[in-house]
Structure formats: C-alpha cells, structure tokens
Structure 1
C-alpha cells in the first residue's frame, strides 16, 4: 500500500472515530471479493454444461415481472441456479468488519451505523449484520427470501432443489424471489429508511459501488447536501465530485484497518 493511500486511511479513520451517525452503502464490489458474480457474469457462467444455457436469454426475461408472467418456471429455475451457485460463498473481511462495527456501535451507544446494501446475496446478514438487531436495509431485496406475487405473503419454507414454482398456501398464487426486478420500484419503506439515514448522517461511506449510478447514488448526494463527509472505497475509483476521500483498494483489505 503506497504512502498516499496510508495517509488517506489515517484521515478516514479519524473521521470514523469522531462520527456519530454513519451511513454505509455497499455494492457488487464487496460481494465480488467473496466470489459472487454480478447478474450478467452469472448469466454468462450459466452457459456451463449441465447448468442450463442461461446466457442465451435476455436479462429482461430472467429478471422482470414480464418474464416471470410469460414463463414463471424459467425465471424460478434461473434463481434456483443462482442460489445453488452462491450457497457455499462466505462473507469476506469487509462483511465481517462492518458487522463488527455495527456490534461495537450498538454496545457502546456512541455511534449509529446504518448499512444500506444493493447486494441480494445475504452475505452481510451471514456475517452478523442482523436486520432484527441492527440498521440493515437491503434495498434490492434478498435472493434467499420468497413471497407471493399476488398477496405478498412471505414464504420462509426451504425451497432447495425445487424446480417448479411453489404455490402460495394462503391464496394459491405463485411464489417468486424477493428481489427487485428490472422495471420494479424499490420498496418504499426501505428507500425512505435509506434516505433518512443518508440525510441524518455526518459520515457516508460508499463501498464497492459506483458513486454515479442512480438511484443509490442519490443517497450520497443527499448526505453531501446536509454536510456529511463522503468516503469512497473502491479499486476502480469514480469521478464523482462529491467524494471527499477516495481509497483506491479492495474493501476487504482496508475495512479491517479502519475498524478495529
């Protein structure tokens, strides 16, 4: 690690120690360090023998309400395949550092740390960022959860290996993965909670995600408008003008150094 990066880390660590309300936004770069493919990478890997020729399908077919209504079993089987591929993936040091930070903050009562993630893989929760205990907002949903398309009843039963679309035991409707598909709006409450966290924070960390992709990038702009310091941690830095500190490195390498 070069001296410039070390100096930036030192300054960011001082910000963290002084901050009272922290908002963390994580994206695909954090999951990538655990071997989780992006949606399109997974689609290409689906061309492997015996795994289904997923790469021949348009993403709109595999992750949209229109695609599900047209061929629900195809879409369900695509998500079952993604679950199968990701089931042995484990949290990396970035996940565990954030979970540890949330635990420390809650126990000390000196900080409020809100985690907003665009990732649907559930690795933050697996690392210990429990939504029942801490402020955790998965704005794009969770691939391990399902709900009824018609009545929206949550379905917690194990669907491992199930290749046919389950039937809702409440209304008889079709059960779908609880993720946000192309063309769907984000969950209103989750988004409002995310906006509130960004609006009220004095430190905003953008980790493993582009600082220029909306709507999530709007949270950073909101935080900046209220005087928060903005830190970007990403091996591929963006050109965002609102970023105050840029750490060009992988999250799993630097977060444990920042949070101890």
Structure 2
C-alpha cells in the first residue's frame, strides 16, 4: 500500500582537504561594513595624479612680471630701444580717436587727453577720425601689427598708452617727462578753434574738384574729409 520513499539523490558536496570554514566570530572580517571600505584610507590613482600635478606646478619657476619700460630704472632703460617721433621734441603728441564706436577706447582717449591738458604744455592732438594718414604714420613709427589707442609721445619719445599714462600720473612721474617742455603761450587758435584742422581752400571741403576734361576728381590737397592741418597751430 505505501509507496516506498525514494532515497534522495542529493549528495553532500565534498570539499578539498585544505578547505576551512570560518565561524561566525569571523563574520566581521569576511564582510566589513560599508562605512569602512578596505581601501578608504588610501587615495585613488586619480587623486594621486592630481596631487602630483599640483606639486609640479608649485615647484615650476614662474616668469617675473616686468613693469613697463617707462617705470624701469635707468639701467634697464638703457637696454630697451627707444621709439622716437622726429620733429616733435618740443611738444606732446597724442594719437587718439574721437569716435564713440568702441566705448572703452573712447574713454581711454578722453582720460589721457584730460590728464595731459592739465600740464599746460603744447599738445599735438592727432585724431585718426579726422585723418586716416595718422594711422599710417603711427604704424610706421611703432612697427606693430595691431595698435590700440591712445598712443602718447612726449618730447619725441614714445611713452605708452592709456594704462601707462595713468600709472605715471598716479605715481607722480609723468610731471618729470612734461616739465622739460615749453609751456603754452597762446590760448586757443583763432583759425581752427583748437580743432587743428580747417577746410581745404581748393575744394571748400568737398574733396572733389571739377575739371573740364575729366569731370570731377579727388582733391589732392586735403584728406578724405576735405580738411587740411591748420597752418597757424601746426
């Protein structure tokens, strides 16, 4: 009546002779807590690479920042070739622009002119917006590919731009460059009103001259704006 119970075919796995089973007291060694990973005390490879790079950057020699040539001592100035503008040894020459296209450039030009006008010496203000030939003259003098404005020459010697003029003025050194120049005797020019330019008499400021044979042609006596340098204050 009763079915005979089949013998179980499951066998107890056999273990190698060198196998040892840990007891429950070793459970903490087998399963350490997640809060203390086995390699938490050692930095990762990425951390060590970043640390090595930071150490190398700290040890690397840094180039010393050189002050502008105008602020160096006399020994350093003798080694730097000076840039001169012939024919302007008795006045200040400022290359600037009166256009407001670039606000920062316009503000720099305005600040430099305001500083230099306070010394009451002769200033040759060369506005590139009035005559494009001033840019060609400035590039031929400085030999630079790109030139920002303003650019200042004092006593025929190149001094720098807006940053250099402000630094020299704040340090009280700009007065030493200007004090050797003759002071202004006359006020505003009666011919040009201080603009340094007058209308061309050949074309009356139109920059065009009519010729019976060829019709209208460009005037060669003035610039592209029909202006010429004022002969009274040039």
Q: Give yes or no for TM over 0.5.
A: no
- Structure number having the greater helix percentage: 1
Q: TM-score, normalised by structure 2?
A: 0.24
More RCO (CA 8 Å, sep 6+): 1
Q: TM-score, normalised by structure 1?
A: 0.22
Which protein shows a greater Rg? 2
